Amino acid sequence: MNSQVQLPVTRPGIPSSLDTIAEEVPVAFEYNGISHTVMLATPADLEDFALGFSLTEGIVEKRSEVFDIEITEAEAGITLHLEIAGGAFAKLKERRRSLAGRTGCGLCGAESLAQVTRDLPLVPAGRHMLLAALYEGMCRLPAQQTLQQTTGAVHAACRVAGDGSISHVREDIGRHNALDKTLGALASVDDHPDGALLITSRASFEMVQKSAALGYGILAAVSAPTAAAVRLADKLNVTLVGFLRGNNCAIYTHPHRLQGTTK
């Protein structure tokens, strides 16, 4: 299934033409044959999405607990069939957290307040990088947002290395989905989190939680954080950066990780 489609559009004073529109389709997650949740998502990088969502939601604790991922398409949408380890599946059945797939809220459908915050270990404090590398990464990202360039409707996430280079760029109509895809792509090739994560959206509570779940200590957003995100980042030892634009930003928690920060 394509991530974009050509549809007719009318603009005042201009003859009718075709416009490139981002696709938004239901994507269902099934674990060991049992339906879990349905998300609205861009139909691209779906194996990364399946792995990233499974890890960041705590359904599995490591890549090796996912044995197989199969993707099937139907008229109603796409289904991701995951085979996971028996222990992970047993825990999933106990929790049975039922998420309603939305593009704007990562907590919709949680059945109780106890499900909102997971017990996560603190992110190790020893990983540092130059603030200039974040600036360079954000400068490079727009050129690799190919779907955003053609549709103007999607978010992106990526990893920034210490030299400012970026990798594992993933796009989606949902900001949580884009981050899950990037984290899934990273987890499939590297079990040692390093560098920083960039997102082209606001930084919400769950974006911090997803980053910390995979051990990333720096999360930088082009827009603002929420107060809940700042409090969680402070608690989990995550460096949270907002308003990362040009050569400027706001660092809300644990600025010691970013060298070159003015005191």
Q: What is the DSSP string of 159-214?
A: EE-TTS-EEEEEEESSHHHHHHHHHHHHHHH-SS--SEEEESS-B-HHHHHHHHHT
Residue type, 97: R
Q: Which of 105, 108, 158, 249 is catalytic?
A: 105
Query: Residue 202 to residues 48, 123, 155, 175: CA-CA distances in angstroms?
Result: 22, 21, 10, 9
Tokens for 103? 């593009």
User: How many Å apart are CA 31 and CA 13, to the nearest integer?
Assistant: 51
Q: Enumerate the β-bridge partners of residue 73.
A: 78
CB 27 within 8 A of CB 46: yes
Q: Of 21, 14, 10, 27, nearest to 176 (Cα)?
A: 27
Examine the residue annotation and report whether 158 is marked as an active-site residue of this protein: no
Tokens for 162? 């210490």
Helix (H) or strand (E) holding 231: helix 227-236
Q: Which residues are catalytic?
A: 105
